Amino acid sequence: MDPALHQQRSGPELRACLLGPQIHSAANRGEVAGVSLIDESQIRVILLDIEGTTTPVDFVYRTLFPYATRKLESFLRAHSQDPEIHSLVQDLRSQHDLDERDGLEPPGWLDNTEEARLRSSVAYGQWLIVRDSKCTSLKSLQGKIWQQGFASRELRGEVFPDVPVAFERWQRQKRTICMYSSGSVLAQQLLFRTTTSGDLTPYISAFFDTHVGAKTEGGSYKKIAASLSYAPHRFLFISDAVKEIEGALSVGMQAILCVRGPGDAPPHGQDQAIHSFDNVLPD
C-alpha cells in the first residue's frame, strides 16, 4: 500500500476528545480493548467500514485496484453499447471537467471519435484509480469489472479471521450488521459473498456506498440512520479512518477507531482503538 494513502486514511491526528465525552455513557458501559465509555446497551446496529477494518488494505490496493486497472479498457470495449456503461462514461467526462477546473491536471480527453473517447475514458479512469478517487461513477465501473473477476474466480473476497466469528456473535445478540464503504454496493456484496470463510452476506442486513454521501460528512450517517429507522446513538461505527469516525460522532453515533496493522499505532499514540473485533460486544 502507498504510505501516503495509509496516512490519508489514518489522518494526521486523533483529537483527544474523539472517543471520550462524545460517546454515550450509562450504567451498562463496556470497555472494548481499551476504548471506554461504549454504551453496549444502546447499540442495535453495527456499521462497518470495509477497507482496513473488515478487509486488509493490501487486498484493495494490491489485488482489486490493479485488476480494475488491467481490465478497464477491455471492459469498456466489450460494453461500449451498454446504455448503463455509456452513462457512467458520461459521468466520468463530467468529473474530468471538474478536475480540470480544480487544477488537478488529469490526462487529456478527446471526443472527436469513438476510439478517442474510449481511450480518453480509460486513461482518465486509470488516473483516478491511482489517486484512490471516491468518484461514484468510477466505483460503479470498478464494481462491474470486479463482478466479472469474482464470477470467473480470478478474484476471491478477503476478510480478517476475526470477522466471521464476530458476525456470528453479533447475530446471536440480535444486532443488525451493515456496511458503509466508498466501494459500490455491488463490489461490497461480491467481496463478502466470495470469502475463503464462505458467503458472509446472510449476516449483513444493508450495504451503503457514496450514494448516501461522503464518509467524512455527518449528513451521510444521518441518512443511514434514517433509512434503518434507528436513532444515531443506537449505532456503533467502526473504521480505520479518523475523519470517518469524526463524521459519525458528529451526529451522535458511537464509534471506535480500528487499527489493524501489527506495527501500526493510533495517531499520536492514542490508545483509544481496537486491533480486532474479538472484544467488540463480546457475549
Q: What is the CATH number of the domain that holds 163?
A: 3.40.50.1000
244 shares a domain with 161: yes
119-135: average pLDDT: 97
Q: Tell me what percent of the residues of the chain surpass a pLDDT of 70.
A: 83
- pTM for the structure as a whole: 0.85
111 shares a domain with 69: yes
Q: Exposed (0-12), middle (13-18) or buried (19+): which is 278, by Cβ within 10 Å?
A: middle
Q: Identify the pLDDT of residue 9.
A: 52
242 shares a domain with 227: yes
65 shares a domain with 51: no
175-179: average pLDDT: 99
Kindly report which listed range (71-85, 97-111, 172-186, 253-267) carries the lowest average pLDDT score.
253-267
192-220: average pLDDT: 98
Q: How does residue 269 score in pLDDT terms, banded at 50, 70 and 90?
A: very low
Q: What is the number of other CB atoms lying within 10 angstroms of the CB of residue 217?
A: 16
What distance, in Å, lies between the first and last C-alpha atoms of the chain?
Answer: 35
Q: Identify the pLDDT of residue 124.
A: 98
If you average pLDDT over every residue of the chain, what do you get?
Answer: 88
Residue ranges making up the domain that contains 130:
59-151
Q: Identify the pLDDT of residue 262.
A: 63
Specify whether the CB–CB gap between 145 and 154 falls below 8 A: no
| pLDDT greater than 50 at residue 170 | yes
